[in-house]
Structure formats: C-alpha cells, structure tokens
Amino acid sequence: MAACCESCPEGPDTLSARYRRVLTVVLAVNAVMFAVEVTWSLIAGSTALQADALDFLADTLTYGLTLSVLGRPLAVRAKAALFKGASLGVMAALVLGTALHRALDAGTPEATTMGAIAVLALAANLSSVLLLYRFREGDANMASVWQCSRNDAIGNLAVIAAAGAVSVTGSGWPDIAVAVAMASLFLQSSVRIMRRAWRELTEAHTGAMATTDEGSR
C-alpha cells in the first residue's frame, strides 16, 4: 500500500478506505456474475464459460480475503496473497480437468448463448479493471487483485473469440482450446503472485528480526 500512497495525494487511511469501497463493489460484481455465468455455462454446454464462472467464484472469495486483511501487517497480507496464488493454481488444475472431460465427451456448445454471456462478463470485468487501475502498483495483495481482474477481461475476449469459432466451424474444440489457454494464464499468475508474496513475507520476517535485535541491545 505504501508504494501506491507515494504517488497519491491522499494519506494511507484515506486511500485504504477508498480501496475498501472499490473492492467491495468489485466483490459484489464478481459474485453476481458467478451466479449468472455458471447457470448459462451449463445451459450452453461451454467449458470456457464454466472456467470463467469458476474464475468469478475464486475472485469473489479472494477479494473477500483481501478485504479482511486490509490495514494488517505486511506479513499477514503477504500470506493472504500466497493463499490467493495457490488458489489460482488449484483453479488451473480444475479447468484443465474439465477441459479434458469435455474433449472426451466431444460435445458442441451453443455459440450464441456462449458469446452473449461472455460479452456480459467482459463488461463486468472491464468495469472492475477501471475501478482497480489506480491500485495496481500496491503490495502483492493489491497487485494480485488487479491481476485477477485483468486476466478475467483477457479471458472474456478469448471466450468471445471461441464462440465465434464454434459458430463458424460447428466444432467444440475452440471452446476447449480457450479453456486450456485460460488455465495456463491462471497458472502463470499463480506463480507470479506467489513469488512476490514470498519476497514480501521474507522481508517482513527480516524486518521483524532486525527490530527484535535492536530492542535487545
């Protein structure tokens, strides 16, 4: 948070309160979109939409975690970011498993529904990205929230493209390919978030040890 405050006229308390309000709105958007997208992904039979719905659920849970650690010590926030990074890794594995199952099933999703819901999801995620943009350079916890929303918007564009390809080709493979690509993106973000969080956790531990040493002198 300090990294963001250095470039903002507000004080830390003002910035924290503003970030909390923004994050609450983004959390609500993600929760609503999870309910909408998981329902229509099943109706459309789309693996990519199911992956995106799972992403909305993961974001809702992790944004709630972020809200719970705002204002807490760096070590606590870094541990929260580690958890979020790990959850992205689990999500990647689930999406890959779903894509494999769909590939064996060889079904074709309903392209029109798939594309329409993906456009709605894109609008929701772009709104979140714009709301979170000014907080993208904060600590690992804040940066992970920005990365989640940005990845979601990229994923929505891919789902829209897949819907178009399914419509043109009459094949379900574009849907599966996008689901696999989304899983790869989740995995990359997982590694990036966890590396940064681990560095911050190490720094917090080192700082705590230095403070203890100075106090014992």
Q: How far apart are CA 109 and CA 40, in angstroms?
A: 11
pLDDT confidence of residue 97: 86
pLDDT confidence of residue 106: 63
pLDDT confidence of residue 4: 31
pLDDT confidence of residue 151: 73
pLDDT confidence of residue 99: 82
Contact 147, 195 (CB under 8 A): no
Q: To the nearest 10°, report the CA torsion of 95, 99, 102, 108.
A: 100
Nearby residues of 5 by Cβ (< 8 Å), 6 or more positions away: 11, 12, 15
The encoded tokens of residue 210 equal 């230095």
Nearby residues of 28 by Cβ (< 8 Å), 6 or more positions away: none
Nearby residues of 17 by Cβ (< 8 Å), 6 or more positions away: none
pTM of the model: 0.70
Candidates 160, 162, 155; CA nearest to 118 is 160
SS (H, E, C) 177-217: HHHHHHHHHHHHHHHHHHHHHHHHHHHHHHHHHHHHHHHHC
pLDDT confidence of residue 5: 28
Quickly tell me which residue has 């529904």 as its tokens.
113
Q: How far apart are CA 202 and CA 76, in angstroms?
A: 12
**3-class DSSP state of 131:** helix
The encoded tokens of residue 21 equal 């309000």
Residue ranges of the chain whose pLDDT lies below 50: 1-14, 213
pLDDT confidence of residue 37: 94
pLDDT confidence of residue 135: 75
Phi, psi (deg, nearest 5) at residue 136: -70, -20
Contact 186, 151 (CB under 8 A): yes
Q: Residue 18 burial by CB count (10 A; 0-12/13-18/19+): exposed, middle or buried? A: middle
pLDDT confidence of residue 140: 61
pLDDT confidence of residue 75: 79
Q: Residue ranges of the domains in the chain?
A: 2-216
